[in-house]
Chain A
Amino acid sequence: MAILVDENTKLVVQGITGRDGSFHTLQIMEYGTAVVAGVTPGKGGQTFQGPGGLGVPIFNSMDEAVAETGANTSVVYVPPAFAASAVEEAADAGISLVVAITEGIPVQDMARAHAFARDRGARVLGPNCPGVISPGKAKVGIISGDIVTPGPVGVISRSGTLTYEAVMLLTKAGVGQTTCVGIGGDPLIGTNFVDVLEAFAADGDTEAIVMIGEIGGTDEQEAAEWVSANLDIPVVGFIAGQTAPPGRRMGHAGAIISGSSGTAEDKMKAFEENGIAVAERPADIVGLIQAVLSAKFA
């Protein structure tokens, strides 16, 4: 099994004719994911040329795209000024998972979009996230299909390239993944660690979890407590930003130590106190995961 995306994913790409949208649509289609529609206002009726001569119909609105194709998932490659509106449009059209890749969406825009998506019962992943991939099943977003392989480990991360690093190391070591989820580097994200942990807990096939956090906020601390109270699956954690100074934004809008809150030290402590093995370096993740997996099957 897998979480969030799988063989049943029917994807609409919002902003399919843009530079990023068109590039990644090709990659997503090459990975074998069903891209059933694209949306770009004003370009309805055109066709997006996918790999191998596959054409994807383009619609003016999500409403039409969903009505015509029965899509259940969307991915947003829309510029920041319009991206929150695209998330709202997807939720309003009945999409159940909206993956928002766009970075730099105004926070107040996203506050409303998150509220609206909750009201509509839609899950938002991101924004400012690399998306999600269930190896061998479906890829929605920008995580490369080349570095993943099917297997028993679930991966959750606030970061893009750091996820690649961890996943590549796992794959090289022969440890495959059920699903790799990038939850995003923004302060207001639609799906947090606990949400994804819950999904992994309900997934029959995930036998261990890698959780990659970073400075800023207290999402990791809450996740650690949730793990300790609710989860039977072993978790290995890593926190980026141990050397980050307070009060400075480290790339991600959400990666900032405010006052004394949100330090890597705090988060690592919370992991340890709640039974989550902490990797000192990304490279240590592999050994720790192998240890918990073999302990499980010992």
Chain B
Amino acid sequence: MKYALRKVGLLILTLWAAITLNFFLPRLMPGSPTDAAIAKLSQNGPVTAATRKAIEIQLGVPDGNVLEQYLQYLKQVVTLQFGISYTFYPQPVAELVSQALPYTLILVGLVTIVAFVCGTLLGVLAAWKRGTWLDALPTLGGSFASAFPYFWTALLLLFFLGYVFKIFPTSGAYGVTNTPGLNAAFLGSAAVHAVLPAVTILITSLGGWILGMRNTMISTLGDDYVTFAEANGLKPRTVALRYAARNAILPNLTSFGLALGGVVGGSVLVETVFGYPGIGYLLLKAVTNQDYPLMQALFLMITVSVLLANFLVDILYGVLDPRTRK
């Protein structure tokens, strides 16, 4: 009981510290939201002193001293009211986030899961067929592909498949004429738009899962219970999947939890290259525009989802590993 309390206490403490960090980090950045807004405007032409004043009034100098702001922020966190975004003034943060979230969750989330599943299966295969081409191909291919810079892969795919051969759309999350909603045209279009970003993430993340699974699987293949299962003449498939792979997957779950938690953060580089209206892109905008309200909401969401994902993985761990039950 004491242990569990301690654990929960530590979790809350971590959450609090992360939230606090999320408050102070943006404020460490030099320049104010007004400066950022002016900087953006000034790219279009001269910004007069009057404009600067108007924007200052509009975005408002945050009320009170840092402590008051911090308390205000904590209140926002608890009530989930983050106010109005500076960058996308006067759009409420909640609206922006809820618009962007589904795309990221579906694209990055789905791809992360697919990459984990495929990578794990390939890793199992590689370890099982160790020393054959079924091992060499995914391991080497995977490690090469995972060394590609994300954005580079994205750019090449975009250029060749998007612009030169015009097979896939070049930006956005769905066709310009579609109205988001549960209609076939939109969903089809959204699927087509997701292909290139998805392939990019898949290519660059698959390798890690393959290697991770292969290595743990090779370790479990040497474990006594695997030898004993073989000695009992179990079918190779059973030995590979129910004995070796089933145990090997456990340590990989931790990484999967972290990766899943990272999903909400989106894939900044990929979303940037493909102009994909997800959280990653929003985040980059928020940070470069010093959009405190938006940044705070996003950071909070990301932090909580990482913690949550880890928590879920802990639970999953318990389900999958009877040793941790009880």
Real binding pair? no
* A residues adjacent to B (C-beta < 8 A): none
